[in-house]
C-alpha cells in the first residue's frame, strides 16, 4: 500500500491545531449535547458564579447568571419538556422550577421572583390547599408542558441569594446529578487566564520539614499571563513526605467576580501526579468540600486552598489521576521540578513551576498526642464522657483519624451550663453526631432549654435539643464551644407599611418584619377575616409580604399574624386593615 505522506502530514497538522484551540474539550472527552438547549435568558450571559465553585460547606451546583442587579428578567425554557418539580422555600434556592426534557436532562431555574401566568396560579392554589408558604410539588408527568423558548418565570433574589441573579443548573434525570452547564454549549466570553495567589506546603509525617520548619508553610505567588512563580523563593527545601495546596481563582471578561477554576493538575518531574476536574458531582458529595480544602486555613484567614492530599474518608468523585493519595516523597538529595497547571473551562491556562530540593529524611516513630487527648477512628463509633457531658460520634463523621480534645470553662452569666469546649471549630465534621449535656443549674421550664454554639464574634447558633432523663440531648455538626441557654422570649413582629391600617388604592403589598433572637422561627400563620392568607417569607431579610388580592375586601378587614419560635414562644399581631 502506498502511503500518502503529504496527506498524513496535513491531517496531523490539523489535529495539532484543534488540540491547541480546544484543549479543554479534547482532554476531557465529554459527550453532552451542545446544540440542544438554548439560553435561559434573552441577553448575553455574564456569570457571577461558576459550576463547582468553592462555597461555604458545598460546591456550587450550577452557574449564576447576572441580571443587571435587578429582579424581573424574563426566564425561558431551554428546551421542550414538562415541569416535574416546583419548590418554594424561604432559604436555599427560594422559588425554583425544575423542567424535565425528553433527552434525559433536567434544567433548574432558582431564586425566581415569580412564575409565568400558567404556573403561578397553580402554585398559588397549592399554597392555599396546604396553607403553607413552603412547598415541594411534583406535578403529574406532562401535566404542565413547556416549549423551548417560551417564558416560564421571572428572575429574582429569593431564598439564600445574596443579590438578584438566575441560578441555572443542568442535571441528569435519573440521578439528579448536576453537570457543568457550560458543557452544553453555552457561550461565555473568557479570554482571561486563572489567577494563582498562594501556595501552601505541608509536612505529611512527624519528622518532615518544609524549609527547616515542622509546620506547614505558605508562599505568595506572583505572575502575569501564563507563567507564575513562587515569590522570593527560587527553591523550597523539603525533608520527608509532603503535600501541597493552591489558592486560585478564575476571571471572566466583563465580570469582576472571583470564580472557580475548572481543573487543577500537578506534575512531578514531568509526570502527572494529581488532578481534579469539575465536570459533575453528586449532591451527597457536596460537604466533602470541607476535606477538599484546607478547612483550618479557611476558618482562620478566609482563604480556600485546594489540597492535593486526599483524606481517607473523602469520597469526592471529582479526582482524576492521583498518586499516593496526593502525598509526595523524594527519597534522595536532589533537585525536583513540580508544576501546577490551572485551567478554566475555555482552556485558558496558568502555570506555577516549583523547584524542590529534597533533603535527607530521618523517619521518626511519631509525635506524642496532646495531653488528655483521646484517639478517634474513622472506622468505628467514638465515645467520650466527661462531667455533665457525653458524646457519641460515628467514624463516618470524620475525614481522618484524629486526637480528640475536650475542655470546659466556667458557667457564663445567663447560661445554665459551663462552656463545653468540644475539640475546636477548625476541624471539620461531615455528619451530625449526638451529645448529651447536663445543666449545671436546672430551671423550671426545661422545655425552653437549647444547646447553643458560641460563634467567633460572640453570637449564638441554636442547635435546639430535647430534654430527656435530666439532660439536654442534641445533634450537632460542628466542633466548638457550646453551652445551654434558655429561650423564653417570644419573636418580634414589626409593621413595615401598615402602621396606620389604611390601605390606599395604589398599595400593592402588606409587609411585616419578624425576628427571633435565639432559637429561631419555627412557623408563622397569617389570616385575613378568619381565613389563612399567603405571605411570602424572605428569611434573609426577615420579611413577610402579602401581595394584595381579592381576599382583602373593601372596608374593614381583620388581619392576624401568629409567629412561633423553636421553643414554642408565640407572638400575635392583630391589625384592622381598611381598604379604600
Task: Note whether 509 and 498 are within 8 A (CB).
Answer: no
CATH label of the domain that carries residue 436: 2.60.220.30
Q: List own/partner pairs for 411-416 with CB under 8 A and 24 or more apart.
A: 411/440, 411/441, 411/483, 412/483, 414/485, 415/483, 415/484, 415/485, 416/440, 416/441, 416/442, 416/443, 416/449, 416/483, 416/484, 416/485, 416/486
> What confidence score (pLDDT) does residue 20 get?
37
Whether the per-residue pLDDT at 14 is higher than 80: the answer is: no
- Which residues 6+ apart lie within 8 Å of 180 measured at CB? 51, 52, 63, 170, 262, 278, 279, 280, 345
Identify the three-state secondary structure at position 267.
Answer: strand
Q: Is 212 in the same domain as 298?
A: yes
pLDDT in tens, 185-237: 999 999 999 999 999 999 999 889 999 999 999 999 999 889 999 999 899 99
Average pLDDT taken over every residue of the chain: 94
497 in a structural domain:
yes
Whether the per-residue pLDDT at 17 is higher than 90: the answer is: no
> What confidence score (pLDDT) does residue 368 get?
83
Q: How large is the average pLDDT for residues 334-349?
A: 98
Q: Is 172 in the same domain as 218?
A: no
The pLDDT confidence band at residue 367, using thresholds 50, 70 and 90, is: confident
Whether the per-residue pLDDT at 8 is higher than 70: the answer is: no
Q: Is 200 in the same domain as 348?
A: yes
Q: Which one has a higher pLDDT value, 6 or 420?
A: 420
Domain termination residue (choose one: 359, 391, 418): 359
Q: How far apart are CA 273 and CA 265, in angstroms?
A: 8
448 in a structural domain:
yes
pTM: 0.92
Q: How far apart are CA 91 and CA 72, in angstroms?
A: 19
Whether the per-residue pLDDT at 302 is higher than 50: the answer is: yes
Domain termination residue (choose one: 126, 157, 184): 184
The pLDDT confidence band at residue 21, using thresholds 50, 70 and 90, is: very low
CATH label of the domain that carries residue 519: 2.60.40.1220
Q: Furthest-apart CA pair in the chain: how many Å?
A: 98
Q: Is 392 in the same domain as 450?
A: yes
Q: Is 203 in the same domain as 349?
A: yes
78 in a structural domain:
yes
> What confidence score (pLDDT) does residue 328 get?
98
> What confidence score (pLDDT) does residue 285 get?
96
Identify the three-state secondary structure at position 291.
Answer: helix
The pLDDT confidence band at residue 365, using thresholds 50, 70 and 90, is: low
Q: Where are the alpha helices (DSSP H) in 32-173?
A: 119-130
Task: Note whether 202 and 305 are within 8 A (CB).
Answer: no
How many domains, in total, are found in the chain?
4
Strand 536-538, strand 543-547: pairing: antiparallel
Q: How far apart are CA 359 and CA 356, in angstroms?
A: 9
Q: Is 479 in the same domain as 513?
A: no
The pLDDT confidence band at residue 362, using thresholds 50, 70 and 90, is: confident
CATH label of the domain that carries residue 102: 2.70.70.10
Whether the per-residue pLDDT at 15 is higher than 60: the answer is: no
562 in a structural domain:
yes
Q: Is 507 in the same domain as 565?
A: yes
pLDDT in tens, 372-404: 999 999 999 999 999 999 999 999 999 999 999
Q: How far apart are CA 401 and CA 404, in angstroms?
A: 9
Whether the per-residue pLDDT at 7 is higher than 60: the answer is: no
Q: Which residues of 325-355 are buried (b: 16+ CB within 10 A; e: fewer)?
A: ebbbebeeeeeeebebbbbbbbbbbbbbebe
572 in a structural domain:
yes
Task: Note whether 296 and 427 are within 8 A (CB).
Answer: yes
Task: Note whether 381 and 394 are within 8 A (CB).
Answer: yes
Whether the per-residue pLDDT at 311 is higher than 90: the answer is: yes
Whether the per-residue pLDDT at 5 is higher than 70: the answer is: no
Residue given cell 533537585 in the structure block: 335
* Residue 349 CA: distances (Å) to CA of 228, 321, 331: 11, 19, 31
Q: Is 121 in the same domain as 96?
A: yes
Domain termination residue (choose one: 184, 205, 228): 184
Q: How large is the average pLDDT for residues 171-196?
A: 97
The pLDDT confidence band at residue 9, using thresholds 50, 70 and 90, is: very low
314 in a structural domain:
yes
Domain that holds residue 523: 492-579
Q: Is 179 in the same domain as 199?
A: no
Q: Is 505 in the same domain as 393?
A: no
Residue given cell 450550577 in the structure block: 62
Q: Is 229 in the same domain as 145?
A: no
- pLDDT-wise least confident of 14-18, 136-140, 235-239: 14-18
190 in a structural domain:
no
Whether the per-residue pLDDT at 548 is higher than 80: the answer is: yes
Task: Note whether 306 and 266 are within 8 A (CB).
Answer: no
First to last CA, the chain: 94
127 in a structural domain:
yes
pLDDT in tens, 438-482: 999 999 999 999 999 999 999 999 999 999 999 999 999 999 999
Q: Is 502 in the same domain as 464?
A: no
Q: What does 336-387 look like in DSSP terms, one character per residue?
A: EEEEEEEE-TT--EEEEEEEEEEE-----S-PPPPTT-EEE-TTS-EEEEET
Amino acid at each position: 500500500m502506498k502511503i500518502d505522506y503529504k496527506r498524513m502530514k496535513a491531517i496531523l497538522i490539523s489535529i495539532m491545531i484543534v488540540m491547541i484551540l480546544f484543549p479543554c474539550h479534547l482532554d476531557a472527552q465529554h459527550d453532552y449535547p451542545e446544540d440542544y438547549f438554548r439560553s435561559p435568558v434573552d441577553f448575553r450571559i455574564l456569570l457571577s458564579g461558576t459550576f463547582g465553585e468553592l462555597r461555604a460547606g458545598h460546591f456550587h451546583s450550577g452557574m449564576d447568571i447576572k441580571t443587571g442587579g435587578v429582579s424581573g428578567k424574563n426566564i425561558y425554557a431551554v428546551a421542550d419538556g414538562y415541569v416535574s418539580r416546583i419548590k418554594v422555600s424561604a432559604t436555599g434556592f427560594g422559588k425554583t422550577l425544575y423542567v424535565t426534557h425528553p433527552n434525559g436532562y433536567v434544567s433548574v431555574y432558582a431564586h425566581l421572583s415569580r412564575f409565568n401566568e400558567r404556573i403561578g396560579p397553580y402554585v398559588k392554589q397549592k399554597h392555599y390547599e396546604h396553607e403553607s408558604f413552603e412547598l415541594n410539588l411534583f406535578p403529574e408527568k406532562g401535566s404542565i408542558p413547556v416549549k423551548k423558548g417560551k417564558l416560564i418565570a421571572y428572575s429574582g433574589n429569593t431564598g439564600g441569594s445574596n443579590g438578584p441573579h438566575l441560578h441555572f443548573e443542568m442535571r441528569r434525570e435519573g440521578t439528579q446529578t448536576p453537570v457543568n452547564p457550560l458543557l452544553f454549549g453555552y457561550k461565555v466570553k473568557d479570554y482571561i487566564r486563572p489567577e494563582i495567589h498562594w501556595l501552601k506546603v505541608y509536612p505529611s509525617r512527624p519528622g518532615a520539614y518544609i524549609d527547616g520548619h515542622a509546620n506547614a508553610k505558605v508562599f505568595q505567588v506572583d505572575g502575569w499571563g501564563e507563567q507564575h512563580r513562587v515569590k522570593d523563593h527560587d527553591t523550597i527545601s523539603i525533608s520527608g513526605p509532603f503535600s501541597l495546596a493552591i489558592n486560585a481563582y478564575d476571571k471572566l471578561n466583563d465580570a469582576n467576580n472571583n470564580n472557580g477554576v475548572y481543573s487543577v493538575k500537578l506534575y512531578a518531574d514531568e509526570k502527572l501526579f494529581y488532578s481534579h476536574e469539575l465536570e459533575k458531582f453528586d449532591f451527597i458529595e457536596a460537604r466533602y468540600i470541607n476535606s477538599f480544602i484546607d478547612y483550618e486555613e479557611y476558618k482562620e484567614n478566609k482563604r480556600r486552598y485546594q489540597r492535593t492530599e486526599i483524606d481517607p474518608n473523602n469520597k469526592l468523585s471529582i479526582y482524576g489521576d492521583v498518586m499516593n493519595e496526593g502525598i509526595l516523597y523524594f527519597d534522595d538529595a536532589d533537585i525536583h521540578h513540580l508544576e501546577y497547571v490551572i485551567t478554566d473551562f475555555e482552556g485558558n491556562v496558568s502555570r506555577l513551576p516549583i523547584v524542590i530540593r529534597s533533603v535527607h529524611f530521618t523517619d521518626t516513630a511519631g509525635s506524642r498526642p496532646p495531653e488528655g487527648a483521646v484517639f478517634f477512628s474513622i472506622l468505628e463509633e467514638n465515645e467520650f464522657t466527661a462531667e455533665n457531658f457525653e458524646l457519641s460520634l460515628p467514624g463516618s463523621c470524620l475525614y481522618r483519624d484524629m486526637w480528640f480534645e475536650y475542655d470546659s470553662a466556667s458557667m457564663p452569666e445567663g447560661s445554665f451550663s459551663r462552656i463545653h469546649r468540644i475539640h475546636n471549630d477548625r476541624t471539620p465534621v461531615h455528619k451530625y453526631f449526638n451529645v448529651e449535656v447536663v445543666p449545671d443549674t436546672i430551671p423550671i421550664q426545661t422545655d425552653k432549654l437549647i444547646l447553643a454554639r458560641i460563634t467567633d464574634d460572640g453570637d449564638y447558633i441554636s442547635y435546639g435539643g430535647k430534654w430527656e432523663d435530666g439532660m439536654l440531648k442534641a445533634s450537632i455538626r460542628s466542633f466548638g464551644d457550646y453551652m445551654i441557654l434558655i429561650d423564653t422570649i417570644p419573636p418580634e413582629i414589626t409593621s413595615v407599611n401598615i402602621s396606620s391600617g389604611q390601605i390606599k388604592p395604589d398599595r400593592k403589598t402588606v409587609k411585616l418584619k419578624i425576628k427571633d433572637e435565639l432559637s429561631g422561627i419555627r412557623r408563622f400563620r397569617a389570616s385575613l377575616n378568619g381565613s389563612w392568607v399567603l405571605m411570602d417569607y424572605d428569611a434573609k431579610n426577615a420579611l413577610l409580604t402579602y401581595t394584595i388580592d381579592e381576599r382583602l375586601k373593601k372596608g374593614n378587614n381583620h388581619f392576624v399574624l401568629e409567629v412561633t419560635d423553636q421553643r414554642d414562644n408565640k407572638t400575635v399581631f392583630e391589625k384592622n386593615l381598611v381598604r379604600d
